[in-house]
Structure 1
Amino acid sequence: MEYSRTVRAAAVQISPVLFSREGTTEKVLQAIAQAAQAGAQLVVFPETFVPYYPYFSFVQPPVLMGKEHMRLYEEAVLVPGPVTDAVSRAARSYGIVVVLGVNERDGGSLYNTQLVFDADGTLLLKRRKITPTYHERMVWGQGDGAGLTVLETAVGRLGALACWEHYNPLARYALMAQHEQIHCAQFPGSMVGQLFAEQMEVTIRHHALEAGCFVVNATGWLSPEQIAQITPDEKLQKVLMGGCYTAIISPEGVPLCPPITEGEGMAIADLDFSLITKRKRMMDSVGHYARPDLLRLHLNASAWSVMQDNHGAASALPDLLSAEAGSFTTNHRIHEQTAVDYGASVSGSEAG
């Protein structure tokens, strides 16, 4: 791992083209170009940005949201497919790492999926949110432990989580144990108001401090006109405002540029990797500050499938990840085909 480099990162706060996969994808491609023109080597987009976050599920009861749910199915992203092909070409053309949130369709199910493209256009990871939150459970299926992985990319060791996955300390620790240098966080934005923005700030700054890594956080944004499109009820419209905090945080928990809390924009900052060592010299949660004799993480890092034949019986055995003081041993594999490898998620913790 290299700790003597500087990487320029961009976090995009942006509104989707509601009800249009093609329209939103075009905005993604334009933003990638703008980030590259600003010298960015990494660009991060909001949670399930393509085609749009399912805000309808937050303001409609399940019995009434069938029409909008079906429309989301029609506009959802296939992986691989035209959207991933277009983003891959843009990443390769500009030599930029792209982290994009999409609503992924796999047969009859939708998933909250994070895609990581390397600077050569390679789709390195497709991970699914391990547990959709509250209203989201009526929209998305669950992910598995195969997505809790840190990647070697052109900008360093990179990990990603979506929204309230950051409130699962074991999921965060799984990435910390793999020595992530840049953590990419994604939230929907335009929800719950100022309280959500304040909670988000606390959450990402805490992870930066605890992990000793940079956090690049992107949130979505809805215009007043878009909010009215989602619901005509003025009382419900109020819960689709605020809740935006697009920011880049240093390993010392310090914002590296002014956060964006309203409207569209792009937060850009230079990440000096020497700050990782500066922070971890004092407190390394997975190194000299760990106590594996007392506390350890056990992770089922397998991708699971609902079907396998007898010849594949051995592949059903879980891969185990053990994060111990200063060491990280695993036979974890990156599964690029998690579209068909659906199943169990984090199995919990154990005392050692």
Structure 2
Amino acid sequence: MTSQRIVRAAAVQIAPDFDDPGGTLAKVCAAIDEAADKGAQIVVFPETFVPYYPYFSFVLPPVLQGPPHLRLMERAVVVPGPVTAAVAERARSRGIVVVLGVNERDHGSLYNTQLVFDADGALVLKRRKITPTYHERMIWGQGDAAGLKVVDTAVGRVGALACWEHYNPLARYSLMAQHEEIHCAQFPGSLVGPIFAEQMEVTIRHHALESGCFVINATGWLTDAQIAAITPDAGLQKALRGGCHTAIVSPEGKHLAPPLTEGEGMLIADLDMALISKRKRMMDSVGHYARPELLSLAVNGRPAATTFAMPASATDSSTLSNGSLHDHDRQSSLAIEPATDDRVAVLRVAAG
């Protein structure tokens, strides 16, 4: 039920610590405490905030990215690991839902990963950005749809996307079809210039209206000293300013607090969950306003893998061709769950 329930939310605009490997985590824990002290029940941090977003990849040519890329790998987060344990304990001790962006290291690869910790400290969602954007493809691997989920938490049904994933309408629709109540958006901030913030506002307000949910958006911030440390080129430094728009938006597309576009800070707003029903009474994009018999979405929820076990039947030479399964065997192995009728908006491939 979404009626007669108020959730206090916090969105954090904050600068990382480039120098101390544990410094950014310390800032996260301090911000969790501050949010909890202000009565927040959920707090959202910027994209890949721990240890920091790879701003260097936006302004440095590939030939110069080796040292900062290796440094990022050395400081990246293993999930589960010491960083997730520390955040989980702080979430549990303060009774607050935490949505944190990290650079996740999985052996020799990095991923843009979003983590959701419930108020009891449980890690209830780990998802990887589906497609890194532009310069980010030099840094991160591609994610999959295994984590494209809405999860039940102490504050309600929570979903998350990172940055330009909000320009993927099918990814957004997948979360909408799972009836998210609070959408957590994360952007790097301090990038591209003012136009980035303007585009961001359009994007998050539109999702709030279309989904009929609240959106909590958090962006990062860089100090002048940090910008100078990334590049001494004054021209390139312009590309590392602006682009901040930390905001909290209602299902009616209204800002619940003045957006934060400069400096570090924290927005606090109360989410009246009854507004979800108020909005969806008129327009429910995945309910009475949908036309699933005309338009539907298929989601492959299987985790991406570089290896898979051969079915027993595939060991017979009649089913092998150049060491691979025939197309018809591949298709049958997907085991798509059929919709019970033609009024299902999302066809989800079995995650086996």
What TM-score comes out, normalization by structure 2 length? 0.90
Alignment-derived partner of residue 82 in structure 1: 82
Change (3 A) 1:57 1:324: farther
Change (3 A) 1:325 1:269: farther
- Code of the residue aligned with 2:223 in structure 1: it is S
Superposition deviation, residue 327 in structure 1: 6.2
CA deviation digits over 1:103-132, x for unaligned, max 9? 000000000000000000000111000000
Superposition deviation, residue 318 in structure 1: 6.2
Are the counterparts in 1 of residues 334 and 350 from structure 2 also a CA contact under 8 Å? no
Superposition deviation, residue 328 in structure 1: 6.0
How many Å separate the matches in 2 of 1:307 and 1:216?
37
How many Å separate the matches in 1 of 2:335 and 2:45?
32
Are the counterparts in 1 of residues 102 and 114 from structure 2 also a CA contact under 8 Å? yes
Alignment-derived partner of residue 132 in structure 1: 132
Bigger mean CA offset, 299-308 vs 79-88: 299-308
**Residue aligned with 2:256, SS:** coil
Are the counterparts in 2 of residues 190 and 241 from structure 1 also a CA contact under 8 Å? yes
Asked if 1:317 is matched to 2:334, the reply is yes
Are the counterparts in 2 of residues 287 and 325 from structure 1 also a CA contact under 8 Å? no
Asked if 1:27 is matched to 2:27, the reply is yes
CA deviation digits over 1:279-321, x for unaligned, max 9? 1111110011111121111111111221233479999736669
Larger radius of gyration: 2
Change (3 A) 1:5 1:131: same
Bigger mean CA offset, 315-324 vs 18-27: 315-324
Pairs aligned (count): 334
Asked if 1:235 is matched to 2:252, the reply is no
How many Å separate the matches in 2 of 1:227 and 1:321?
52
How many Å separate the matches in 2 of 1:127 and 1:321?
25
Alignment-derived partner of residue 100 in structure 1: 100
Superposition deviation, residue 192 in structure 1: 1.0
How many Å separate the matches in 2 of 1:282 and 1:324?
23
Q: Which runs of 5+ in 2 are unaligned?
A: 315-329
Alignment-derived partner of residue 50 in structure 2: 50
Superposition deviation, residue 65 in structure 1: 0.7
Asked if 1:256 is matched to 2:256, the reply is yes
- Code of the residue aligned with 1:317 in structure 2: it is L
Output aligned runs, 1:271-310, within 5 Å.
271-310=271-310
- Code of the residue aligned with 1:249 in structure 2: it is V
How many Å separate the matches in 1 of 2:249 and 2:2?
19
Alignment-derived partner of residue 123 in structure 1: 123
- Code of the residue aligned with 2:71 in structure 1: it is R
- Code of the residue aligned with 2:279 in structure 1: it is R
Output aligned runs, 1:203-214, within 5 Å.
203-214=203-214
Are the counterparts in 2 of residues 209 and 253 from structure 1 also a CA contact under 8 Å? yes
Are the counterparts in 2 of residues 88 and 123 from structure 1 also a CA contact under 8 Å? yes
Superposition deviation, residue 326 in structure 1: 7.1
- Code of the residue aligned with 1:42 in structure 2: it is I
- Code of the residue aligned with 2:198 in structure 1: it is E
How many Å separate the matches in 1 of 2:255 and 2:194?
18
Change (3 A) 1:316 1:94: farther
- Code of the residue aligned with 1:205 in structure 2: it is R
How many Å separate the matches in 1 of 2:5 and 2:301?
30
Are the counterparts in 2 of residues 162 and 186 from structure 1 also a CA contact under 8 Å? yes
Are the counterparts in 2 of residues 299 and 320 from structure 1 also a CA contact under 8 Å? no
Are the counterparts in 2 of residues 298 and 321 from structure 1 also a CA contact under 8 Å? no
**Identity rate, percent:** 69
Superposition deviation, residue 4 in structure 1: 2.9
Alignment-derived partner of residue 63 in structure 1: 63
Bigger mean CA offset, 292-301 vs 160-169: 292-301
Change (3 A) 1:103 1:181: same
How many Å separate the matches in 1 of 2:338 and 2:200?
28
CA deviation digits over 1:315-341, x for unaligned, max 9? 9736669797576675766x9xxxxxx
How many Å separate the matches in 1 of 2:48 and 2:191?
14
Are the counterparts in 2 of residues 50 and 76 from structure 1 also a CA contact under 8 Å? yes
Are the counterparts in 2 of residues 301 and 332 from structure 1 also a CA contact under 8 Å? yes
How many Å separate the matches in 2 of 1:318 and 1:48?
34
How many Å separate the matches in 1 of 2:220 and 2:238?
16
Are the counterparts in 2 of residues 11 and 216 from structure 1 also a CA contact under 8 Å? yes
Change (3 A) 1:29 1:119: same
Superposition deviation, residue 147 in structure 1: 1.1
How many Å separate the matches in 1 of 2:92 and 2:113?
21
Q: Which runs of 5+ in 1 are unaligned?
A: 336-352
Change (3 A) 1:316 1:247: farther
How many Å separate the matches in 2 of 1:168 and 1:148?
12
Superposition deviation, residue 178 in structure 1: 0.3
